[in-house]
């Protein structure tokens, strides 16, 4: 098995990279890091495809002239063109998805003041209880959750005051 892995070392590297990417996509709490993980995974798949298209001793699939001035169109001259096309499509898809995910992340940050989806969930549900729990004995509970307590309170207060301001603004208009 190790022989085969060494023979297919590009594919093995691609697979390991894609697992690293998937781990990041699932494990990271920070959205930006998740998106980086997504990109690592996609890029690893392109490496896999590019390795699959290669045939040893052949050149890139663009017709060239031989010594007699004629186009060379033998199969034996060129590598497989299909994976190149698939990689091209994949790159564009990955760019689009990354842009969309980053835009969503930006909106999330504007709404909650955090890049962490779990924390946003927490803020949503515990916005009003935080004030009570903040100066109490079970701070370490929140700390274990991986959240800096004071930042969260600040963010919650800001969110609350923002919603208050919005309402106040409406009244001003009227």
Q: CA-to-CA distance for 15 and 151, rounded, in angstroms? A: 39
Of 55 and 164, CB closest to another protein? 55
164 binds another protein (CB under 8 A): no
Of 66 and 129, CB closest to another protein? 129
Residue written as token pair 């299909």: 82
99 binds another protein (CB under 8 A): yes
Q: Which of residues 14-43 bind another protein (CB under 8 A)?
A: 15-16, 18-19, 21-23, 25-31, 33-34, 38, 41-42
Instruction: Please report how close the Cβ of residue 63 comes to another protein at its closest, in angstroms.
Output: 5
Binder of another protein out of 148, 158, 164, 167 (CB under 8 A) = 148
155 binds another protein (CB under 8 A): no
Tokens of 35: 């998106």
139's CB contacts (< 8 A; 6+ apart) are 149
Q: CA-to-CA distance for 149 and 140, rounded, in angstroms? A: 9
160 binds another protein (CB under 8 A): no
Q: CA-to-CA distance for 10 and 154, rounded, in angstroms? A: 48
117's CB contacts (< 8 A; 6+ apart) are 29, 31, 108
Binder of another protein out of 36, 61, 127, 160 (CB under 8 A) = 61
Burial class (CB in 10 A: 0-12, 13-18, 19+), 160: middle
Q: Which of residues 77-96 bind another protein (CB under 8 A)?
A: 77-78, 80-86, 88-93, 95-96
66 binds another protein (CB under 8 A): no
Binder of another protein out of 36, 43, 45, 161 (CB under 8 A) = 45
Q: CA-to-CA distance for 23 and 123, rounded, in angstroms? A: 25
Helices 9-27 + 31-53 axis angle, to 10: 160
Binder of another protein out of 75, 128, 140, 171 (CB under 8 A) = 75
């Amino acid at each position: 098995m190790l022989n085969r892995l060494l023979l297919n070392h590009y594919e093995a590297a691609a697979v390991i990279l894609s697992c690293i990417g998937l781990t990041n996509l699932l494990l990271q709490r920070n959205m930006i890091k998740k998106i980086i993980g997504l990109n690592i995974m996609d890029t690893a798949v392109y490496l896999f495809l590019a390795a699959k298209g290669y045939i040893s001793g052949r050149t890139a699939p663009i017709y060239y002239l031989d010594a007699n001035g004629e186009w060379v169109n033998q199969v034996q001259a060129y590598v497989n063109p299909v994976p190149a096309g698939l990689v091209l499509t994949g790159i564009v898809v990955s760019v689009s998805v990354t842009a969309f995910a980053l835009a969503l992340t930006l909106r999330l940050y504007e709404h909650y003041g955090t890049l962490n989806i779990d924390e946003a969930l927490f803020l949503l549900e515990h916005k009003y209880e935080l004030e009570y729990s903040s100066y109490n004995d079970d701070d370490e509970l929140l700390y274990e959750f991986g959240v800096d307590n004071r930042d969260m309170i600040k963010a919650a207060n800001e969110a609350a005051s923002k919603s208050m301001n919005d309402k106040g603004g409406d009244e001003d208009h009227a």
